[in-house]
Amino acid sequence: MPISAAKKNLKTRKPIAATPRIGLHLGIAGGLHNALLRARELDSTALQIFSRNPRGWTAKPLELEQVETFKRVREETAITPVVIHANYLINLASGDTTIRDKSRDAFRDELERAVTLGANFLVVHPGSAKGACAADGVRTCAETINEACQDLELEGLQILIENTAGQGDCIGHTFDHLREIIAATPALNLGVCFDTAHDFAAGYDLRTEAELAATLDALNRNVGLENVRVVHFNDSRAAFNSRVDRHFHVGAGEIGVQAMRRVARSPLLAHAAFILETPQDEIGDEANNLAALRSYINSSSG
């Protein structure tokens, strides 16, 4: 679709909310609840965490005291949504049966932990189709998700598939991959986590108003913007269409201030929670990136 047509189509859509909830990914050292307390210190209204070591296949089971403390502190801080990011080893699209089985079991554990903690969303990368074509990877990803969720009551938890930069043999770098995974898991009501840095590196441009409109139109046609529940709001250290996944500080990367501001202020994404996954190179980076996001949302310029 031409950019001008995409822009016209999106202008006719009714905004869902006025201002997004914002937060960032925080560490869980000393206890899961500490991330909630840190989020409150930073005056954020949303939060993303790992519920376990993100680089291990197995994890210690959650203890009752951990869960109760997390839920109590969450109620006290009123932070919502709480997003859990699945661990990095999980490869739902793997053609290697050993890795696929381990990934399915690890994803099942992530689901059970998220339900136990009362999280709103569980974000997962769709995985790599190394050794197979993308279509096979998409099909395997959907099958693995269905198997992991078998006989599990999600109790309000929604699984979000994250778009990818397309590095290596990763699937999910085109919106039609996300559409096909969702279509193959109809009973699960999957949603989408839209990562701006991944989007940019995968070849969906954001740098002008017209290019943002075209990108959001493509996202809407494939998965429905209402199903984008979380936005990973990251600038990109990597160049446009590079297929390289490198997050950078808000407004300081290849996407840039003006483009990031337009994304933050888009009424078509305001219903989603905006979560920062920006680098923590120096003390104060968390607060500085949050301040930038707030300034973009509150800015009167487009």
The enclosing domain of 171 has a CATH number of 3.20.20.150
125 is catalytic: yes
| Lowest model confidence (mean pLDDT) among 16-20, 113-117, 223-227 | 16-20
Query: Among residues 52, 104, 179, 198, which one is catalytic?
Result: 198
277 is catalytic: yes
**Cα–Cα distances in Å, from 217 out to 1, 230, 269?**
9, 17, 12
296 is catalytic: no
For residue 133, count other CB atoms closer than 10 A to its CB.
12
Domain range for 201: 3-298
Instruction: Calculate the average pLDDT of the chain.
Output: 94
Peptide bond into 54 cis (omega under 30): no
**Count of domains for the chain:** 1
198 is catalytic: yes
Which pLDDT belongs to residue 18?
66
pLDDT tens string 42-99: 999 999 999 999 989 989 999 999 999 999 999 999 999 999 999 999 999 999 999 9
- 3-state DSSP assignment of residue 34: helix
25 is catalytic: no
Q: Would the pLDDT of 201 be above 90?
A: yes
162 is catalytic: yes
Query: Among residues 41, 72, 88, 176, which one is catalytic?
Result: 88
Among 280, 289, 219, which residue's Cα sits nearest to residue 257?
289
- Sequence-distant (6+) residues with CB within 8 A of 251 are 235, 257, 260, 261, 292, 296
Q: How many residues does the chain have?
A: 302
Which pLDDT belongs to residue 89?
97
Residue 4 parent element (H or E) = helix 3-11
245 is catalytic: yes
133 alpha carbon, distance to own chain's centre: 24
195 is catalytic: yes
271 is catalytic: no
Say if CB 131 and CB 116 are below 8 A apart: no
Give 4's pLDDT tier (boundaries 50, 70, 90).
very low
Concatenating the DSSP letter of every residue in 136-174 gives: HHHHHHHHHHHHHTTT---TT-EEEEEP----TTBS-SS
Query: Among residues 109, 110, 180, 195, which one is catalytic?
Result: 195
- Whole-angstrom Cα distance, residue 23 to residue 39? 7
Distance spanning both ends of the chain, measured CA to CA: 23
Specify the pTM. 0.94
Query: Among residues 199, 217, 245, 254, which one is catalytic?
Result: 245
151 is catalytic: no
33 is catalytic: no
